[in-house]
Amino acid sequence: YFVKVAWAWTFWLLLPFIAVTTYQFAESKFLYGPTKSILMVLRRLSALLVGTAIWYVCTGLFMYIENLTGMCSTSGKLGEPRRLYATKQECHQDNGIWNGFDISGHCFLLSYCALMIVEEVAVLEGFSIDQNSKLHVVINGLFVSLCFLTMIWVFMFLCTAVYFHDFSQKLLGVLIGLSAWYGTYRFWYLKPFSPGLPLPNIPLSSKKYSYSR
């Protein structure tokens, strides 16, 4: 049940982290005024709306494909006419088992959430703030929470890989998660009309160096 609302956990931890770090960078590094800094924060927070849209569309698509390709197996009495079920929910209401192509939503969502967190926390590579300030404590707390959450997502990803779905369903879920990350952070967010990359816009080569460290 924890992983079923994985996007909610990721969303509500990234929301304050992105807001605080973006505002701090815009004001201290780029010397933006309060109004422009807030507009920059709103632009960066729209990445969470993009992520929400990706989660909603992909999970809806997975359910549609499962309903389209599935059949219901029930333990009906002999002589009773065989009922046709249109959806997995109808099948489960009659205590049936739905057999369809169930793309792993967990593999998709966990891989996408983990990659998004890694992209966003990379902003701390160039972050400098007074270590005795309350803001430093807040950012550190959010950072540790996001790291702990990422560890949970990786652990649950491994559990899903071992115990649930077949190989093709898990592989397709991961590929869709990777495509969602690549299409946003490696393509669309490089464009002017987009939520943009975390401030400062760290080049890919620098990020690879930071990750290796």
Name residue, tokens 């299409």: 183
pTM: 0.83
Q: What is the pLDDT of residues 132-188, one digit of tens each?
A: 678 888 888 999 999 999 999 999 999 988 888 888 989 999 999 999 999 999 999
Task: Provide the annotated active-site residues.
Answer: 106, 165
Better-scored residue on pLDDT, 123 or 111: 111
Q: Do residues 200 and 25 touch, judged by C-beta distance below 8 A?
A: yes
Q: What is the DSSP string of 57-99?
A: HHHHHHHHHHHHH-EEE--PPTTSPPPP-SSHHHHHHTT-EEE
Whole-Å CA distances, 119 to 115, 116, 201? 6, 5, 11
Q: Do residues 86 and 67 touch, judged by C-beta distance below 8 A?
A: yes
Name residue, tokens 């956990």: 9
Better-scored residue on pLDDT, 131 or 59: 59
Closest alpha carbon to 59 in 185, 206, 209, 173: 173
What are the respective helix, strand and coil percentages of the chain, to the nearest 5? 70, 5, 25
Q: What is the pLDDT of residues 24-61, one digit of tens each?
A: 888 777 667 788 888 989 999 999 999 999 999 999 99
CA–CA gap between residue 186 and residue 202 (Å, rounded): 12
CA–CA gap between residue 41 and residue 27 (Å, rounded): 11
DSSP state of 165: S
Residue 56 phi/psi, 5-degree rounding, is: -65, -45
